[in-house]
A and B are shown apart, each in its own frame.
Chain A
């Protein structure tokens, strides 16, 4: 098994009577792009703040790089780059000066060559000497990435990094995350309240709500393995129900009425089943994939499910 970069065991944080994080367990492995998914107020930020020692846990254990965070705080933080919520900087200083200050404290190479290289990576090199107060939100978000990367950390923790960005900005950030993971081999811990975002870039994920872990695993598995519900609308002169019941697909049928048959399928099985119907002269009027994860997550975010 690959090395655990983050290991959270039974983490709990109470704010007076409010339980923000409730006995949370999770593991992030080296090379993961780990999606930390949950609706707003699920406890994502509180967890991330605890990972970065901004908040003291009420109980539980956090290990990063195999070491206890609280007894090895400085050593661990040296190897973490992070954006927590919105990226805030010293507005009265230039982007360059901000990076210089933050980099110095992190023990990064703060030569102007290196700072400019990072600024170029996030596309801010031309505005390096502008005061941050003149920056747009998107620019600050990118500067946030720059400060997280400046000291070349092993683990990058990004808290909702695409919030407030335009589609182009979102695309750029996603590409950058993929680049950091694939090309630079960084482990990335990415929180989001948007399933699609996690689906696109994450390799593994966890969904939490009300501070509790609901589901954890590989994104691929969670999205594909029997979890997708596909509704086929069919019409035929023959007895469709009988045909299905006599075939191998019977066991995948979840529910049905006269015309609509809902199957639990992997992505690969959808065209196969389609072909099966077509060959039997059954008209397929529509195929509607209703992924259960999405449904599930949607229900959570809408607060429909406890």
Chain B
């Protein structure tokens, strides 16, 4: 199995499309860092305007944590689109290329094929996230230094220095789970068709539609929000809240995990029964 995962990873990383994600993340984070480096006080004055008039304050609020948090906020919705490029290709790409035949006539079970591809996809996802973390948190801390993190969400919160890093790791972990759902969804679509373009657009469409549904402030639509995985994906923000609503957070994590397991199971069942006609 490890050999198969290794093979799948080598296939992923020998395709140039797999680097789009890394390039996009590197570019976007670089742009954000550059912008903040030169214009960061602008954002900060937005964040601090509530207390600037009545308070004296000191300390380095424009720091690596702030940048990493801004990047996470900005990219959280968009990284899924990068994952889809690889996830949608995992199975359908083999169908398009006709290499399904080569693969399935080998002495390995279809479960092994699906599983190794899925795990390779998850590893890709985690690597992309890790790259995001290194770029946005690691590099930003080097450029901007450390300090307290000011977060403007439902309330304005300043986190103490020693209270930040674990939240980021938690958030990246949560992001991994969210992106796992995206991967599973694109993987699922990928098992249905014989062309990678379909699953890529289908997954993107689902994400966009769910996002719109979960953002619309219409009474009837509020009812369905808890059933949209996108709603649960955005729960990561509660990690940067005080106190953390753990019960909600864990519920969302469970829902996301359920999606991953469910989608994978369906994908496997479809793939197991699939007649390879490509």
User: In the complex, is A directly touching B at CB under 8 Å?
Assistant: yes
List the interface of chain A (C-beta within 8 A of B).
Answer: 15, 49, 52-56, 73-78, 80, 82, 84-86, 88-93, 97, 101-102, 104-107, 147
Known contacts A73-B109, A105-B108: does B275 contact A55 (CB below 8 Å)?
A: yes
Nearest chain B CB to A105 CB, angstrom units: 4
Measured between beta carbons, the chain A residues less than 8 angstroms from B41 are: none
A91 touches B107 (CB 8 A): no
Name which of B22-30, B57-65, B95-103, B147-155 contacts chain A. Answer: B95-103
Name which of B8-16, B164-172, B214-222, B246-254 contacts chain A. Answer: B8-16
Measured between beta carbons, the chain A residues less than 8 angstroms from B97 are: 88-91
Interface size on B, residues (CB 8 A): 25
B105 touches A82 (CB 8 A): yes
A74 touches B101 (CB 8 A): no
B109 touches A52 (CB 8 A): no
B11 touches A90 (CB 8 A): yes
B107 touches A89 (CB 8 A): no
Nearest chain A CB to B78 CB, angstrom units: 26
A54 touches B104 (CB 8 A): yes
Known contacts A55-B275, A93-B14: does B7 contact A75 (CB below 8 Å)?
A: no
Measured between beta carbons, the chain B residues less than 8 angstroms from A104 are: 3, 7
Measured between beta carbons, the chain B residues less than 8 angstroms from A92 are: 14-16
A56 touches B273 (CB 8 A): yes
Measured between beta carbons, the chain B residues less than 8 angstroms from A147 are: 102
Nearest chain A CB to B66 CB, angstrom units: 40
Measured between beta carbons, the chain A residues less than 8 angstroms from B10 are: 101
The docked-state distance in angstroms from the alpha carbon of A6 to that of B275 is 21
Say yes or no for B127: interface residue by CB 8 A criterion: no
Q: Which of B31-47 contact A (CB under 8 A)?
A: none
B99 touches A105 (CB 8 A): no
Closest 5 CB pairs of A and B: A88-B98, A54-B276, A77-B107, A78-B107, A105-B106
A84 touches B277 (CB 8 A): no
List the interface of chain B (C-beta within 8 A of A).
Answer: 3-4, 7, 10-11, 14-16, 97-109, 273, 275-277
Known: A52-B105, A85-B101. 9 other contacts (CB 8 A): A15-B275, A54-B275, A74-B109, A77-B106, A86-B98, A89-B99, A92-B14, A105-B103, A105-B108
Residue in chain A with minimal CB distance to B276 = A54
A53 touches B273 (CB 8 A): no
Measured between beta carbons, the chain A residues less than 8 angstroms from B276 are: 49, 54-55
Known contacts A90-B11, A92-B14, A102-B102: does B275 contact A75 (CB below 8 Å)?
A: no
Measured between beta carbons, the chain A residues less than 8 angstroms from B275 are: 15, 49, 54-56
| Contact with B7, one of A86, A91, A105 (Cβ below 8 angstroms) | A105
Known contacts A88-B98, A105-B7: does B105 contact A54 (CB below 8 Å)?
A: yes
A74 touches B107 (CB 8 A): yes
A89 touches B105 (CB 8 A): no
A101 touches B273 (CB 8 A): no
Measured between beta carbons, the chain B residues less than 8 angstroms from A90 are: 11, 14, 97, 99
Measured between beta carbons, the chain A residues less than 8 angstroms from B109 are: 73-74
Measured between beta carbons, the chain B residues less than 8 angstroms from A56 are: 273, 275
Measured between beta carbons, the chain A residues less than 8 angstroms from B106 are: 77, 102, 105-106
Nearest chain A CB to B75 CB, angstrom units: 28
Measured between beta carbons, the chain A residues less than 8 angstroms from B277 are: 49, 55
Query: Which of A91, A101, A102: most chain B CB closer than 10 A?
Result: A101
Nearest chain A CB to B96 CB, angstrom units: 9
Nearest chain B CB to A204 CB, angstrom units: 23
| A–B pairs, 29, beta carbons within 8 Å | A49-B275, A52-B104, A54-B100, A54-B104, A54-B276, A55-B276, A55-B277, A56-B273, A73-B107, A74-B107, A74-B109, A75-B107, A76-B107, A77-B107, A82-B105, A84-B105, A85-B98, A85-B101, A88-B97, A88-B101, A89-B97, A90-B11, A90-B14, A90-B97, A92-B16, A105-B3, A105-B7, A105-B106, A105-B108
